[in-house]
């Protein structure tokens, strides 16, 4: 079965848990990681990797010394990711919930990551989970690190990401279907006192 057919079938069955009818295009995948300095990145985490279009774009650019942690909750997608990327020495595919990121990293002796690349349907998360998730992101992201988030609704969620990060930049990718883009987010806001009201 093609990646597209598999993805569409999952979307029809699981809706907002998958959040997209098709995998990201190569253009969107490249745009999503367009701000990474590959010579400096030591640890990159990808969350909600699906069938791996962004993973492939990472694999094309990443240096052999950079550790790449790939996460996906869906068992079928995780099996595809293991098959496609599991034999790379610096890649590790982890089937599980991205909200367990802190544990996933600490189990592997990682306390900070340089880039978090997210394909997660964050706007569909229940509000409390959204805030909890960004608290975890804040706790593991390096001071100069970035949180990169794909979106299929261009510009619409700027407000959401600005609630969680001081710096948010949107890059538009018209060649994706539908036209889409990515947010490059830096400097997480302090959420320790409960943080902003999630949207």
Ligand X SMILES: C[S@@+](CC[C@H](N)C(=O)[O-])C[C@H]1O[C@@H](n2cnc3c(N)ncnc32)[C@H](O)[C@@H]1O
In the region spanning residues 133 to 172, those forming contacts with ligand X, defined by CB under 6 A, are 150
Q: 45 - beta bridge partners? A: 69, 116
Shortest Å, Cβ 40 to ligand X: 23
CA angle 187, 189, 193 (to 5 degrees): 150
Query: Using the rule CB under 6 A, is 181 a contact of ligand X?
Result: no
Q: Quick check: helix, strand or coil at residue 196?
A: coil
DSSP state of 82: H
Q: Out of 30, 48, 85, 137, name the contact with ligand X by CB under 6 A.
A: 48
Shortest Å, Cβ 121 to ligand X: 6
Q: How far, in Å, CA of 110 to CA of 117, rounded? A: 16
Query: Using the rule CB under 6 A, is 79 a contact of ligand X?
Result: no
Q: 72 - beta bridge partners? A: 95
Query: Using the rule CB under 6 A, is 45 a contact of ligand X?
Result: no
- What does the per-residue mask of binding to ligand X show for 87-126, with x meaning CB under 6 A? ----------xxx-------------------xxx-----
Helices vs. strands in the chain: H and E counts, helices first: 7, 7
Q: Binding segment for ligand X among 70-78, 140-148, 165-173, 175-183 (CB under 6 A)? A: 70-78
Q: Which is nearer to ligand X, 92 or 97 (CB)?
A: 97
Residue (of 76, 19, 72, 77) closest to 46 by Cα position: 72
Shortest Å, Cβ 143 to ligand X: 25
Query: Using the rule CB under 6 A, is 74 a contact of ligand X?
Result: yes
3-state helix/strand/coil string of 149-168: EEECCCCCCHHHHHHHEEEE
Positions in the binding site for ligand X (CB under 6 A): 17-20, 23-24, 47-50, 53-54, 71-74, 77, 97-99, 119-121, 150
């Amino acid at each position: 079965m093609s990646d597209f057919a598999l993805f569409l079938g999952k979307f029809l069955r699981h809706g907002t848990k998958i959040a997209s009818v098709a995998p990201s295009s190569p253009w969107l995948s490249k745009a999503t990681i367009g701000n990474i300095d590959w010579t400096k990145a030591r640890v990159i985490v990808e969350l909600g990797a699906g069938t791996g279009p962004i993973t492939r774009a990472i694999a094309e650019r990443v240096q052999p010394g950079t550790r790449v942690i790939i996460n996906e909750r869906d068992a079928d997608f995780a099996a595809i990711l293991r098959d496609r990327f599991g034999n790379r020495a610096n890649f590790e595919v982890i089937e599980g919930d991205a909200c367990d990121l802190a544990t996933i990293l600490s189990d592997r002796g990682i306390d900070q990551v340089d880039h978090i690349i997210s394909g997660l349907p964050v706007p569909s998360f229940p509000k409390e989970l959204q805030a909890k998730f960004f608290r975890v992101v804040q706790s593991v992201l390096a001071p100069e690190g970035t949180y990169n988030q794909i979106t299929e609704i261009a510009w619409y969620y700027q407000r959401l990401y600005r609630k969680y990060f001081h710096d948010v930049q949107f890059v538009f990718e018209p060649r994706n279907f539908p036209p889409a883009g990515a947010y490059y987010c830096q400097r997480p806001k302090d959420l320790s006192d409960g943080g902003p009201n999630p949207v």
